[in-house]
Amino acid sequence: MYEVGIIGGGAAGLAAALELSRRRISSAVIDSGRHIGGLSRDLCCKANPVCQRCDACSPVDIRREVRKSPFVTLLSDSEVINVRGIPGSYVLSVQSSSGLSEIEVKAVIIAIGSPTFDAAIDARYRYSDCADVLTSRDLETMMISNDIHMPSTGKAPSSLAVIQCVGSRDAKHGAPYCSKVCCKYSLKLVKRIRKELPGIEVTFFYRDWRPSDRGYDKLAEYGREDGVHVVRSRPAEVIADSRPLVRYATVEDEVREDPFDIVVLAVGLQPPPNSQKFAASLGLQCNQYGFFIKKGEGAYAAGCCTGPKDIRESVEEGIAAAGKAAAFLEGLH
């Protein structure tokens, strides 16, 4: 029996566990991934070499603290497949490699994050069949191992295009909202890449620039640097050739095709696929896209499963949810 069950061990879930621990409240963090840490585990440090405040290291620091706490139990590779009960007395059915078990808790914090858009769904960008078309997450993985290369040849690229808003601001794919994080992450990622590969030419294709971070709002200014180009256009498609060709219309309505060594798709954030199921059993609601609405009694949602947000905001929401859960538990006594 734990006081709080935290479903999801990403930035928000870990921050909630740490905050509860500081209040001497026990919690179990249950995560379906092999390792606790969520999406932020796959993000590289963007220091170039100055820290760019990407916050990728923040969940690592929080996890280190959480691991030391006697009030927190971390359960990875464990999936909550069902929740039943009422505020003050919930039972979580948890499937893991050792079988099915039940965990009793008094309150629940749901922090299951949000997956990134599956770029293969939008066939225009040739993610499935053009080796040198990558997602921003693929590029992060390369950066973590310090090995930026063209998958088709294994060689370092000399040119790179970033296409913004892939799977976001796109009603056709059910995501007309802005994913909020991809503008600033793309820019921070590119600044780090240009430190690793100083001669690389980078072109941003963007529709709007919404970085939500001071200091990262001046794309046009960055575009005046040698080797950086900014094009206000949403490319119509990528054409698979010996090098991927980006076809786009200029502001003068001229159609152009430019070749690049690598095309990076800045994929947006999607609602969690199982949000409706959890919402029904926890008395929560979802908005029209499937993100949780935060209000609840005894059950609280935090982090990207309530809508796109960056790591810092997710941590803040996790702490706030822990505060609400603590107040709820106090009211039970």
- Which parts of this chain interact with ligand SF4 (CB under 6 A)? 45-47, 51-57, 164-165, 168-169, 178-180, 182-183, 208, 210, 266, 268
CA–CA dist 257, 244 (Å, integer): 10
CB of 204 to ligand SF4, least distance (A): 10
Closest of 127, 140, 121, 117 to residue 273, by C-alpha: 117
Distance separating alpha carbons of residues 165 and 208, to the nearest angstrom: 9
Closest residue by Cα to residue 191 from 44, 332, 328: 44
Nearer of residues 1 and 50 to ligand SF4, judged by Cβ: 50
Which strands sit side by side in the sheet containing 245-249, from one edge to the other?
237-239, 245-249, 255-259
Q: Are strands 245-249 and 237-239 parallel, antiparallel or unpaired?
A: antiparallel
Smallest separation (angstroms) from ligand SF4 to the CB of 165: 3
Tokens of 241: 């050739």
Minimum gap (Å) between residue 43 Cβ and ligand SF4: 8
Size (the chain), residues: 333
As measured in angstroms, the least distance from the Cβ of 73 to ligand SF4 is: 27
Between CA 80 and CA 82 the distance in angstroms is 6
Helices 311-332 and 58-68 pack at an angle, to 10 degrees, of: 30
* Closer to ligand SF4 by Cβ: residue 53 or 63: 53
Q: Which ranges of 9-135 does DSSP label H, i.e. alpha helix?
A: 11-22, 58-68
Given the complex with ligand SF4, which of 55 and 140 has the nearer CB atom?
55
Nearer to ligand SF4, 116 or 164 (CB): 164
Phi-psi region at 283: left, alpha or beta (left = phi > 0; alpha = psi -120 to 50):
left
Cα 221 to Cα 214: distance, rounded to the nearest angstrom: 14
Residue number with CB closer to ligand SF4 (48 or 73): 48
Question: 154, 214, 148, 227: which is closest to 183 by C-alpha?
Answer: 214
Task: Name residue, tokens 């059915």.
Answer: 93
- Beta-carbon neighbour count of residue 45 at 10 Å? 16
- The token duo for 243 is 């090098």
**Shortest CB 102 distance to ligand SF4, Å:** 38
Closest separation between CB of residue 221 and ligand SF4, Å?
17
CB of 308 to ligand SF4, least distance (A): 8
Nearer to ligand SF4, 308 or 318 (CB): 308
User: What's the closest the beta carbon of residue 168 comes to ligand SF4, in angstroms?
Assistant: 3
Query: Scanning the structure block, which residue is given the tokens 């095309």?
Result: 263
Query: What CA–CA distance (Å, rounded) separates 278 from 285?
Result: 9
Give whichever of 205 and 260 is closer to ligand SF4, judged by the CB atom: 205
Question: Residue 320 is which amino acid?
Answer: A
Shortest distance in whole angstroms from residue 160 CB to ligand SF4: 16
